[in-house]
Chains A and B, each alone.
Chain A
Amino acid sequence: MLEVQSIRVAYGAATALWDVSLEVGAGELLCVVGPNSAGKTTLINAIAGLNRISAGKLVFDGKDISRLSSHRFCAAGIALVPEGRRLFTEMTVRENLELGSYISAAKAHRADSLERVCHLFPALVPKLEDPAGSLSGGQQQMVAIGRALMAKPRLLLLDEPSLGLAPSIVLDMFRVIRDIHSEGMAVLLVEQNVTMALQVAQRAAVLEEGRIVATGTPDELLARPELRRAYLGLDAEEAVQA
């Protein structure tokens, strides 16, 4: 469904991503893990159309979307749950959700989608008319995911959904992500919380300093040293002891 072919993305004067390639199949849940400053957010933003790629190609559903303007990615079928939520804080929860279905294809199903989001996140129902900025971190994350679902995407992008959230809320979040995926949505998840990410992923890739250094199933990756070294700087021996 999504093919990232050897993309290179700049971040200001620096190159953040060097020659990154990966694939997400229809209905698949791919996790990209890696330490901070590895380039995870840059990668997701490039796929969502927020960052321009300076080399390589993005192909979605067979169409080359590399040169599309930012505001056309949503209509192509890609929705983003950004890092740090980035809700429209001055607007109400309901308005945030409605804006998720701004594109005409999604607008037609707005009422149904809204109902579905409320069903998925019952805690939001009493908060619908409150300003989004007044919600707790966990609730905001729910709104952010809901907003993306309202766009009726075929590929859902999640950028570090566990960031800044209390551990029990992270638990709930990942359960929801697992549920959404089980309904057939293709998901690309970028995460710092490796252990939990690998528990929901079907396949995963490790991003370190702007390059993919390993890919495979979660079990395969856990057995390899790249993960431990990338995060903890420990070489093979110490990693085994840890």
Chain B
Amino acid sequence: MTLPSSTLLAQSILAGIFTGALYGLLGLGLSLSWGMLRQINLAHFALAFLGAYLTYQLASYGGVDPMLTLLMIVPLFFVFGIAVHWVLSHFKVTPFNSLLITFGLTIIIEAVLQWIWTADYRRLESSYAEHRYRVGELFLPLPELITLGLSVGIAVAAWLVLKRSDIGKALRAAAEDAPIAAAFGINQRALALLLSGLNAALAGIAGVCIALSYTLAPSQIYTWIGVVFAAVMLGGLGRPMGPLIAGCIIGVSEAVTMAVASPSLAPLVSFSLLILVLLVRPGRA
């Protein structure tokens, strides 16, 4: 175990923050869905990848700027999210069964992705990837900065809405005690549908970020599941800033582990943390 130079360490930490930001972005929708709606949406990841592939397709073959694809993806995914939630609540699906059903959805989406885009690795070549900013000795690539910006921006916005706005408070109240919330005029069903739509849209946004920075392959869906769940649980369910902060902690510890020890030890960090959290304070999660 050799100590790397301070520059390398700093760059690793930065890389960890960037990765963490993406964990946070992916985890936000999952956390809100689980914490406020009691639905564990495993399909969130597959959905994100669908978004990533759509971005890839539109940008590579349609010549559309990747950021502009958001205009199409966000509304489309919003509607999809509402539809999925409607089905789950219509059948009064338990939290655990929602895990299984969304797993089924994941299989379907993955199969479709494989059919359309094959199992080959795909990389979006965009002008964004060519831009890098330099601060001192550190490099800050543009796609990662965009991801960071979006992740932080959306998390803060979610935090503000939940904390300050009437709708946010209504959501929190309905999550705690839906019948009494209804007694004060809060329509839990409508709010839940709205939130589900937003969560799905978030998955789409995360997908665009993934497309900008990573190589795509359908099998990659599963590599994210574990570590994002770890971020969600560590951050505390239903807390908007939780996945972001926890994601960054995980990302940084992984990056530092990779720089200082061996890259393959990185998963040990996040999953041991997750196990610890589950055993020590499961109630909070």
Contact = CB atoms under 8 A, between A and B. Distances in A.
Q: Which 8 pairs of residues, A with B, have the shortest CB-CB distance?
A: A103-B185, A70-B182, A74-B185, A71-B182, A71-B187, A88-B173, A80-B183, A86-B180
A69 B185 CA distance: 10
Contact of B177 (A69, A79, A86, A100): A86
Nearest to B164: A95
Contacts of A79: 183-184
Interface in A122-151: 147, 151
Interface string B157-172: 0000000001001101
Given A88-B172, A91-B169, A91-B172, A70 B183 contact: yes
B184 A100 contact: yes
A102 B186 contact: yes
Contacts of A102: 166, 170, 184-186
A49 B176 contact: no
Nearest to B180: A86
Contact of B169 (A49, A82, A95): A95
Interface in B20-60: none
A204 B227 CA distance: 61
Contacts of A99: 169-170, 173, 181, 184, 186
B95 interface: no
B168 to A, nearest CB: 10
A88 B177 contact: yes
A189 B200 CA distance: 45
A34 to B, nearest CB: 22
A103 B179 CA distance: 15
B184 A82 contact: no
Interface residues of B, number: 17
Contacts of A73: 183
A188 interface: no
Contact of A50 (B173, B179, B186, B187): B179
B184 A147 contact: yes
Contacts of B12: none
A151 B173 CA distance: 16
Contact of B180 (A75, A82, A95, A98): A82
Interface of B: 166, 169-170, 172-173, 176-177, 179-188
B182 A49 contact: yes
Interface in A20-52: 48-50
19 contacts: A48-B183, A49-B182, A50-B179, A70-B179, A71-B185, A71-B187, A73-B183, A74-B183, A74-B184, A79-B183, A79-B184, A80-B180, A82-B183, A86-B177, A91-B176, A95-B169, A102-B166, A102-B184, A103-B185
A41 to B, nearest CB: 12
Given A50-B183, A98-B166, A102-B170, 6 more contacts: A70-B183, A71-B182, A71-B186, A88-B173, A88-B181, A91-B172
A98 B185 contact: no
A202 interface: no
A151 B184 contact: yes
Interface string A60-101: 000000000111111100011010001011110001001110
Q: Which of B169, B176, B185 has the most CB of A within 10 A?
A: B185
Contacts of A98: 166, 169
B185 A49 contact: no
A160 to B, nearest CB: 15
Nearest to A151: B184
Nearest to B170: A102
A88 B171 CA distance: 11
Contacts of B181: 88, 99
Contacts of A49: 182-183
B184 A91 contact: no
Interface in A175-233: none
Contacts of A88: 172-173, 176-177, 180-181
Contacts of B173: 88, 91, 99
A68 B109 CA distance: 40
Contacts of B182: 49-50, 69-71
A69 B178 CA distance: 13
Contacts of A48: 183
A26 to B, nearest CB: 22
A159 B62 CA distance: 63
Contacts of A80: 180, 183
A147 B183 CA distance: 11
Nearest to B190: A71
B188 A71 contact: yes
Contacts of A107: 166
Contacts of B169: 91, 95, 98-99
Contact of B172 (A50, A90, A100): A90
B188 to A, nearest CB: 7
